[in-house]
Amino acid sequence: MKVSDYIAQVLDENGITTVFGHLGGFNVDIVDSIYKTNKHHYVLSYHEQASSFAANSHSVLTENISVAVASGAPSACNMIAGIANAFFDSNACLFLIGSVHSKAVRTSKDIRQNAFEEIDFVSVVSEITKYAARVKSPDEIRYHLEKAMHVALEGRKGPVVLDIPYDVARADVCIDKLKRFIPSAQAGDWELDIDSVMALLRKAKKPIFLLGGGARSGKSRHALKQLLEKVKIPSVASLCGIDVLPHDHDCYAGFIGHYGNRYANFALANCDCLIILGSRLDERQIGGSKRRFAPNADIVRVDVDKVELGRTLAENISLHTTVETFFEKLSAEDFTGCDYSAWHKVLYLWQERYPSYDLSADDVNVNTFFHVISEFLADDAIVCSDVGQTQMCVAQSLRIDRQRRLINSAGYGSMGFSLPAAVGVACVERNRQVISINGDGGIQMNIQELQTVSRENLPITIIIVNNRCLGMIRRLQERIYDNRTVASVEGYSVPDYGAIANGYGLPYMKIDSPDQYSSLRDFIRQPGPNIVELVASQEMRNMPEPGASIDLQTPLLSDEENKLIKKESQV
């Protein structure tokens, strides 16, 4: 069997039906084998970064390995952003890199380059992959491919890379005679001190679940809902965990962090028991002061990655296990006497008092726009958000109700993510509404993928929030650099998005007034792709914005309000 045919066979055996990538001389055998099986949909992107981002979102949605292919040094290096994104957001992706002839590989690091388009890609990505290897001979393909597929899904998921010289891909091998990868037995060292957790919950009056990316699997989301039927524990979310619990659930209490909902951050600041579920707690979540992050709470940390436990905060209980296992074990407990209804009433009061939108705004307010159009989205819509100021508006104000999903570039934080990510999910769910939300800066970083959307006739509504600047950097320059807005406003410009939509043959709508919001309802529900441009103020801000700590966001509340919040929290 030809090596490239074997690769296609393994993908099929593992339920991988879609492959993203760009074609080149070094990976043409792999692409040809994938195509000729008639079992795979090969999706050509117009830039390899786009195909790598598409693989990321595809993996999030399918909860399986997703695959992207590249050819040679330029093509492979264009994929680095997607590889890094998969590493930081824990997405299981297999990146297959077609490379130079095995006999042409440089023999010493003293040699800068030997063959055309040659690079030691394994070394380049070694810090942002779970496993990376060059398949040096055809006899190694089975071992490396089986190991890569296993490692990508084992424990904390992540990306794997195989560098396959084109002569290896073309070679014939007898698969049954090749060395296999045999996974080592699981250590079985899950740490589940549920009795101690229950002791804290029975003592607590104001508990909070913090849902991170480690809680977003289908099993975890199902187990959480079952648990919350037994005991109603308020639940806040990080950016990666923002779609774990539907926002219309009684227990959803908002998005936390620097740009989080004010009421969610108040919940953290005043809780007495915080259970952190698969969240790495970076500085955007914790804010400027660790001492003000759940300062009076007993802290339980649950994570499949043992390295994360105890790394950021002093924890009362550290549990090395999966979030779904924790939920399942906790659901078996007796919660008699665990009544947090008074705490819920306080959180509902804060949600009403401190919304992240303004329905009285006469002009376009981006937060309000996303709050309003939440009513227009399908119950199972999939939203892909780009990075920057617009992303934070989405996290603050768009309602991920019912069966909706929200996919971000959270840890890596790459502009240009949303459009190719939307391609990735639309190729899985052609009958679901897919929304790609972009700033005017982010959309230009992978704007060529409008041709992929048009060519494939993907059901994607592309929303471009056009405030004619790089808004998050502009705000930084206004606050810290004496309003010198070089390269965010001055020296920055945007194209005519209506003309671009016409060039790609996509229906287009422009909105520049709140009176036009309702007209979007029918437009985004029509079949096929379309583009919506929302014209926003160049001075747009988030609601709220970062402050000295996550419970001191700006604009600052009065001393009287802060005293009232403290008083109300004494349940």
- For residue 475, the tally of other CB atoms under 10 A from its CB is 20
Write phi, then psi, for 10 (nearest 5 degrees). Answer: -65, -40
CA nearest to 419, candidates 382, 453, 369: 453
Closest CA to 440 of 400, 388, 375: 388
Q: Between 194-203 and 323-331, two packed helices, what is the crossing angle to 10 degrees? A: 70
Spell out the domains of the chain, with CATH numbers in brackets: 3-177 (3.40.50.970), 194-353 (3.40.50.1220), 366-535 (3.40.50.970)
Contact between 473 and 484 (Cβ < 8 Å): no
| pLDDT score at 61 | 96
Mean pLDDT, 10 residues at a time, over the chain (571 residues)? 97 96 96 92 97 98 97 97 98 98 92 94 97 98 98 97 98 95 76 93 98 97 97 97 98 97 97 97 84 92 95 94 96 96 98 96 96 96 97 98 97 97 95 96 98 97 97 94 96 97 98 95 90 97 94 95 96 90
Number of separate helices (H) and strands (E) present in the chain: 22, 18
What is the pLDDT, as a whole number, of residue 291?
A: 82
Record the pTM.
Answer: 0.96
DSSP letters, 471-518, are HHHHHHHHHHSTT--BTTTBT-----HHHHHHHTT--EEEE-SGGGGG
pLDDT at 190: 80
pLDDT at 292 (0 to 100): 86
Tell me if 234 sits within 8 A of 210, measured CB to CB: no
395: number of Cβ within 10 Å: 27
